[in-house]
Structure 1
Amino acid sequence: MTVLELANVSKTFGALKVTDDVTFSVPKGQALGIIGPNGAGKSTLFNLITGNILPDAGTVTLLGRDVTRSPAMERVRMGVGRSFQIPQPFEGLTVFENLLTAAAYGQRKREAEVQDACIAILQDTGLLAKANVLAGALSLLDRKRLELARAMATGPELLLLDEIAGGLTEAECRTLVATIRGLHAQGITIIWIEHVLHALTSVVERLLVLDFGRVIGMGEPEVIMASKDVREIYLGMEV
């Protein structure tokens, strides 16, 4: 089963083509990593998948349904969950209250119906002991965990991670990667944008490389990272 398919998707802002004829698909249960230099169009690609922006050309298909013109909230309720590069919790609410809000709104359910699922997510993301801590008082690692947990609380079929390992220490990164690997082992389909390559390649089965909005490579991580074009364009190495 294919969870997500993009076919010839393009997006232009003024004279700048930020997504250029992008085509790829993600089968259920796979983890796909996306890499590319700054300005390559990675975040724009996520915004096209989530419906925060709409493409100028091409189609976006989610779980067999054309969602190209569908609004972002409709896609959330169809099963798209997303974390953001800069965590954006409700700082005046507790960790648990943040999850309840995301779950109730994202799944169109009463809080009482989603409490048990939210407790399970807190357990899976290592936040159970901090359920009653205000989100504004969390460390960076725990804010990243909460960002991940809030995305999971919407009940996603597809989980989008936007540079979630950025800014963490090596030890913190290992902790977060173990959490993501555990979620993936449960069968969650993941697309992960990341600059911390060792974290990314320890989880994903495939890598997609973007440069100036175009896909320049896609395949197994070892093959992609050994590619001459990828090393020259992404790593800045003359090969």
Structure 2
Amino acid sequence: MTIIALDNVSKSFGALKVADAISLEVREGEALGIIGPNGAGKSTLFNLITGNLAADSGTVHFMGEDVTRASAMQRCLSGIGRSFQIPQPFGKMTVFENLLVAGAFGQGRSERSVEAQCAEILERTGLISRANAIADSLSLLERKRLELARALATDPKLLLLDEIAGGLTEGECRQLVATIKDIHARGTTIIWIEHVLYALNSVVERLLILDFGKVIGIGEPAAIMASPQVREIYLGIEV
């Protein structure tokens, strides 16, 4: 079953086209990685999927329903959850309180009704020992884990991860990847933007590369990374 489908989705800011006729399908239970140089339109694509940006043209279908004109809140309630590149928790709240807010608003339920679910998510994301810690006191890895946990608290059918491994050491990254692999193994569909390629390749079945708002290629990771065009666009810039 196709969980998310974009058909010729485009978005411009004046003369700058940030999404150029993007078509994409992701099946339920799949993990798709997205790579591309800075400014390629990766986060813009997420914003078009979540409804934070409205498409100028094209359609977005989620679980078979046309959500092209649905608000970000409506899409969240329907099952699209995301993390952000720069974690911005409620800094003066505890870790557990952060999850309660995300769960209540993201699912349209009371805080009391999501307490048990939030506690289970803290266990899965390695934060249970920090449940009563103030969010502002967390290390970078813990803040990344909290960002992931808050996205999970919305009970997503589709989880969007935006450079969640950025800034971590290799050891910290491997810890976080193990958590993401577990989430995927439990059946959550994932679309993951990342520059840390070994992290992506540990989880995803397909890679998509964007450049100047256009899909340059999509397919099995090894085949995508072996493409001369991809190596020129992406690896050449990184080198």
TM-score range, shorter chain: over 0.9
CA deviation string 1:101-147 (max 9, x = no partner):
00011111111111110011001100001000000000000000000
Provide the C-alpha distance between the structure 2 equivalents of 1:220 and 1:83, rounded to a whole number of angstroms.
24
Query: Structure 1 CA distance, aligned partners of 2:213 and 2:165?
Result: 23
TM-score by length of 2: 0.98
State yes or no: 1:16 paired with 2:16.
Answer: yes
Q: Distance between the aligned counterparts of 1:12 and 1:112, measured in 2?
A: 42
Q: Which position in structure 2 is the counterpart of 1:118?
A: 118
Aligned partners of 1:163, 1:49: CA distance in 2, in Å?
16
Pair 1:91 & 2:91 matched:
yes
**Structure 1 residue 236: Cα displacement:** 1.4
RMSD over aligned Cα atoms: 0.7
Instruction: Tell me which residue corresponds to 1:134.
Output: 134
Aligned with 1:167: secondary structure? coil
Quote the Cα distance in structure 2 between the aligned partners of 1:69 and 1:54.
7
**Residues of 1 paired with 2:192 and 2:105: CA distance?**
24
Where does residue 184 of structure 1 map in the other structure? 184
Task: Tell me the SS of whatever aligns to 1:126.
Answer: coil
Shift of 1:16: 0.6
Deviation at 1:235, TM superposition (A): 1.1
CA distance in 2, matches of 1:42, 1:13: 15
Q: Which amino acid aligns with 2:29?
A: G
Q: Whole-Å Cα distance in 1 between the matches of residues 177 and 13 of structure 2? A: 34
* Secondary structure, counterpart of 1:133 in structure 2: coil
Tell me the distance in 2 between the aligned counterparts of 1:181 and 1:52: 27
2: CA distance, partners of 1:222 / 1:228? 12
Task: Tell me the residue number matched to 2:37.
Answer: 37
Residue matched to 2:231: 231
Aligned residues: 237
- CA shift, 1:19, in A, is 0.4
Counterpart of 1:212 in structure 2 is: 212
- Within the alignment, does 1:199 sit opposite 2:199 as a pair? yes
Tell me the residue number matched to 1:175: 175
Structure 1 distance, partners of 2:235, 2:19, is: 21
SS at match of 2:235: coil
Amino acid at match of 2:76: V
Letter matched to residue 82 of structure 2: R
Deviation at 1:49, TM superposition (A): 0.3
Q: By how many angstroms is 1:21 displaced?
A: 0.6
Percent identical pairs in the alignment equals 68
User: Aligned partners of 2:78 and 2:88: how far apart in 1?
Assistant: 22
After TM superposition, give the deviation of residue 68 of structure 1 in Å.
Answer: 0.6
In structure 2, how many angstroms separate the alpha carbons of the residues matched to 1:2 and 1:124? 27
Please tell me the residue identity of whatever aligns with 1:33: G
SS of the aligned residue for 2:54 comes to coil
Moved beyond 3 Å, runs of 4+: none
Runs of 5+ consecutive residues of structure 2 not aligned to the other structure? none
Q: Which runs of 5+ in 1 are unaligned?
A: none
Q: For 2:13 and 2:110, how far apart are their aligned partners in 1?
A: 40
Shift of 1:194: 0.2
Is 1:145 aligned with 2:157? no
TM normalised by structure 1 equals 0.98
